[in-house]
Structure 1
């Protein structure tokens, strides 16, 4: 059985990133990226499995979460997709990680997808929960059917100042409600939730989250530092690195899609797997998530 993770702070671009490292430092690298409203603990069991499989496992806390902090108070507290992707790219460089497998879901899956799409030479493969996660901001104002809009109520709530104040006052209560709604078959314990809840006490959490859910609808400007990256994302590039897509069978916020819907976005789609889980794929189905990471790594080493 592998030892527990080491907790480090790594200067990477505009952030001092809190990173949980486990496994062999000489092993094959795997970077695991959490989403909203979760934290790095989503990958506790996955990291153990991958460590035992010989991986060098890196699990960062995203901007606005847990112990990750901005270096400069003047830096915009952006939560836009280009920002979290650039954070990942900077972290790979700061840690000297050469072509890791990158794997994530929700915000973290989006960061992994953007890096795999725009800088494919920096990664060896991708595992993504819910498939192609690059946001189409230009098309975000087009309404969907009401039954498709309803699960995103929390995003529309955060578009107004009432929502910002609600998140500030009730960040834990909101997060727990979303856990319950998005993963209706997951019987997580109070201890499970309380292990994650302190990650939302980060002083930048509210600003980053609110900006994320306003920027993706074109309601606010992004950080000008990422304008070039956003323009490249807007071209909706196909992802060409070896990829496994995971969908949660019981995910209510990002319902599973057939393989045929995923295929146009990936030119090297190794597999599409339906997992007995809701939205928090690695915490609900750690063996399945870890297996996907191992399989992507194995494909690259055998090809």
Structure 2
């Protein structure tokens, strides 16, 4: 099972989600621009769009010679999971998406005012002066999200500082800005991902069994944004809302996540 982390987080977010103890082989990469990842060429455009990240995931599984697999993704990772299900559904057994509901065709539409207010950081980065401010203090910007996206007291300084070392990657800022700014404005892109982008944009419903988990106390993806999605899934969609949990359920409630995902895998196990 591929475990794909979100933003602003890193691959250690899965450390306490005990799936391997149940015999599940897990692969937990850092997304491009995070932690130890590096681009082969300095001239490669730093494309942070979801289709670029999804292609990275496919390329990794190809390199490992894994033909069919399940995916669990959190935040950006959830968007990647949906993109993988749209792009090459025959490769996927199941997906589990944490903290983010499905957007048909991978489209970014301006949400209602309450959700738009919760997404202030996306509008902030979309403004040139806002992007410059994030560049001045990327860790401070990331920490503000940790402090406001989940109930107080869910993390300590040592945990954040350990994860924030992943944000020291020289490409973290470029990938972050590319991901968010390209949602709302015409940004430069790597044409190598245009084919996958077109396939995602043409896919409204998904045929991969899907589990969606979100925290009821999530301060950035409001619970009502993921309601009434069942019609968009042709092979099953189950939504679980966790009381008292915010945007980082892998860190706030890892045992609950593990139990739910193991049940999801078992109920969709191929005979």
- TM bin (shorter chain): over 0.9
**1:243 equivalent in alignment to 2:210:** yes
The two structures, once aligned, show a CA RMSD in angstroms of 1.8
Query: Which residue in 1 is equivalent to 2:253?
Result: 285
Counterpart contact for 1:39–1:65, Cα < 8 Å: yes
Report the Cα distance in structure 1 between the residues aligned to 2:225 and 2:146, rounded to whole angstroms.
24
1:187-231 CA deviation, whole Å, 9 max, x = no partner? 211111112010000000111111111111133132111111111
Query: Which residue in 2 is equivalent to 1:76?
Result: 45
Counterpart contact for 1:164–1:206, Cα < 8 Å: no
Query: Which residue in 2 is equivalent to 1:39?
Result: 10
Report the Cα distance in structure 2 between the residues aligned to 1:258 and 1:208, rounded to whole angstroms.
25
Pick from 152, 176, 180 the counterpart of residue 209 of structure 1: 176
Structure 2 counterpart SS, 1:64: coil
Structure 2 counterpart SS, 1:62: coil
Query: Which residue in 2 is equivalent to 1:8?
Result: none
Query: Which residue in 1 is equivalent to 2:233?
Result: 266
Query: Which residue in 2 is equivalent to 1:51?
Result: 20
Gaps of 5+ in 2: none
Q: How many equivalent pairs are there?
A: 268
Counterpart contact for 1:79–1:211, Cα < 8 Å: yes
Distance verdict in 2 for CA 1:148–1:259, change over 3 Å: closer
Query: Which residue in 2 is equivalent to 1:170?
Result: 137
Displacement of 1:50: 0.6
Report the Cα distance in structure 2 between the residues aligned to 1:64 and 1:258, rounded to whole angstroms.
28
1:2-23 CA deviation, whole Å, 9 max, x = no partner? xxxxxxxxxxxxxxxxxxxxxx
Displacement of 1:259: 7.3
**Structure with the bigger percentage of strand:** 1
Report the Cα distance in structure 1 between the residues aligned to 2:112 and 2:3, rounded to whole angstroms.
33
Q: 5 Å matches for 1:154-165?
A: 154-165=121-132
Counterpart contact for 2:154–2:252, Cα < 8 Å: no
Distance verdict in 2 for CA 1:185–1:97, change over 3 Å: farther
Pick from 94, 104, 107 the counterpart of residue 136 of structure 1: 107
Report the Cα distance in structure 1 between the residues aligned to 2:206 and 2:181, rounded to whole angstroms.
26
Query: Which residue in 1 is equivalent to 2:56?
Result: 87
Distance verdict in 2 for CA 1:160–1:209, change over 3 Å: same
Pick from 291, 294, 298 the counterpart of residue 262 of structure 2: 294
Structure 2 counterpart SS, 1:178: helix
- Higher relative contact order structure (alpha carbons within 8 Å, sequence separation ≥ 6): 2
